[in-house]
Structure 1
Amino acid sequence: MVNGPAGRPARSLTQTLPDGVRRTTLPSGLRVITEAIPTTRSAALGVWVGIGSRDEAPAMSGASHFLEHLLFKGTHKRTALQISAEIEAVGGETNAFTTKEYTCYYARVLDSDLPLAVDVLVDAVADSILDPADVETERGVILEEIAMHEDEPGDEVHDVFAEAIYGNHPLGRLISGTPESVTPMTRTQINNFYRKRYKAPEIVIAAAGNLDHATVVRLVRKALAGTPLDTGAAGPAQPRAGDKRVRVQKPHTVVLHRDTEQAHIVLGGVGLSRYDDRRFALGVLNNILGGGMSSRLFQEIREKRGLAYSVYSYAAQYADSGLFGVYAGCAPGKAGEVLDLIRQELERVASSGITAEELVRGKGMVKGSYVLGLEDTGSRMSRLAKSELLHGHLMSVDELLGRVDAVTIADVEKVAGDLLAHRHSLAVVGPFDEGAFPPG
């Protein structure tokens, strides 16, 4: 941002980034980043806030998610019905989601309706009322959502796994919060969180589709005028720091008893942060182990033995930590055998490495999934926002593919040794008692 003389506001700064992407930093520190795709007739818009569940105090667990619900319930200009009806009247769609490190409010519309989407979405995020009656209504909705999640053991087991790794650290808590934290949360507490956390420097507005960057910036500035986000000069927030060590728990087993037809298992441990250069090798390793139908785990557990319908590996990356895990859903009576096979495969990769053929296939899967995932305006918009909000810079598609191409067998084997050659934590949801799974 360019700072002006005393008493005068700073000027906006516009830059051209890789792949023709353009970014404007407003005097308030809020950033607008766009990618023009003239061959489409649609546009995707997202208002991304660098605040998530890990930014909450224990007593406020679930506040970010609660707020996500409330920001669509009415502003000084629109009722909740008007917010949804104005977008749906032009065939568009709008929604939101909360993660541990950021929250996103998004819309997809025809290119000609982008001005409407900007006005509605920015209004909702910048100037919501948080009516007390709406707080009580959405509290009930969220409590039902939490209960519904508990009825999905295949999802719940991943939360149990995260808690097994991180314990009471914010990364180990539920994004939704718990009934014990959501029930007593007051409108005043939520509003204070909203106004203290949702600041212009923490916000990135991203758009992709058939659009003009300067026009989008003008639309954003118009929509922000007179709202609490129309503030004085400030620099944009830096990406969340990744230089501190997150305390994790020693490897152990957590069994959550549920009267389910299947056993749901996650075995794994600490992974890599999103700033770790080894993340490209981990992406390749992940695909070799459990990233598709040709992966080792899928072939060994499902194709050869028919022990599970779903089995896969995955990685989650945060600013200062990460997770790597293997999931399997199987008949309760087969859980021990499936777990043994998973452990054997992890040990085999850690000790014996991978083949040249697996390296080629794993790299191809990473590159293919990335490029094919950029085929619609929504994914292109997400790429822009995440690059700006989480990394502070945009890596071109060619540069990213080059980083994957540069991964060697030695790189994959090194990260496999670092992450897999030790005891892991185990999370199980199913018809079992504590102690049913001895340490492996």
Structure 2
Amino acid sequence: MDASRFVDSPFGAPAKEPGNKWAFTYYLPKPVPRQIDLNSRVVAELSEADAALGHLQGLGLLITDPGLLIGPYLRREALASSRIEGTQASLSDVFQAEIDASSINDDTSEVQRYLEATNQAYELATTLPITQRLILQVHATLMEGVRGEEKSPGEFRRTPVWVGRAGATPETATFVPPLPAHLGELLADWERFVNDDGRAMPALVQAALMHYQFETIHPFLDGNGGIGRLLINLLLMERGRLPLPLLYLSHYFETHRDEYYDRLQAVREQGAIEAWLIFFLRAVHAQANDAVARSRKLVQIRETFHSEAIKERSSLPRLVDVIVRNPFVTVKSVETRLELTNQGARNLIKNAEARGWLRSLGAHGQGGRELWYSPAIFNVMEMPMTYNGDAYPENTQAGEV
């Protein structure tokens, strides 16, 4: 790490310990600032992000069955967060892997692991504050399996790490996080900031600083980004800004990946906190509007399908909820979810197919089972959407999977 690129700022400075066995330059963060002077540009972005988050918060309170919407959003977030870390998978891959074990591969397994870790985090957060204990438990789940087996799941690192191009050394790395000896003190300060000291500042500013500091401390050998991103929703829920985990920033971070990393690095190198805050607040603004648009459209489609389904004395209304949660189905998955006979599940799918709700994709997987999907629902989850306060696009035409 080139120390000449770094200044001594309120957020940290380069350090070196010649007598240490790891005698290379690293970055030593300072305690998280408890007060930030916001310039007019940041205040303007904060106002817009707060308003967008308020719309999402209000929508979350009005949804009668939030579980139907949380599932699809969780999958989008898990996929985007995993992609940032290099996972190669599509949203359709993730949905198909959930209903057909033969579709599971290393990439979809990592996305599923992120889903499990996220669900665990939300469950733990109902009884625990955001603490090191919670983080360690969630990290153990996230890193169990495919790529995490040798990365000390559920343990803070005991050795140095560095970030840079493949083959980089501590001397050539872009960023060398603090040495292990500093982690205890830094994490204790971070925990105090999250739970007590940071509450005097706006929740979104606190969330931005929390995420920056966690990524900079880099407490794990691997999985820091995934944990750091899922903590954002936890904090906003704990601060009362979200009733449900409906805000997912990873898609924005993935789309603007280079800027995401550059803004974090600029705080370390130059103390450029305003640029990071603006980037973070724009992400909140964009993704809150995105979530509102998708939520409204999914609710509209569900209500339309339900209004038709209730005219029949069958399990058709229950099938609607199944495909809202996962728009891909097989006869076996419907049979299992709705506790039907094989023929009953097949008849139900054919009924939905005749109505245009489902479309066959032919035989898939090792067993050659026929796979169906709902173009209307899948497109709402997959296609770009915008929300301007009172309208949203009609992205319900059949698309390619």
User: Fold conserved (TM > 0.5)?
Assistant: no
What TM-score comes out, normalization by structure 2 length?
0.32
Kindly indicate which of the two structures has a greater share of residues assigned to helix. 2
What TM-score comes out, normalization by structure 1 length?
0.29
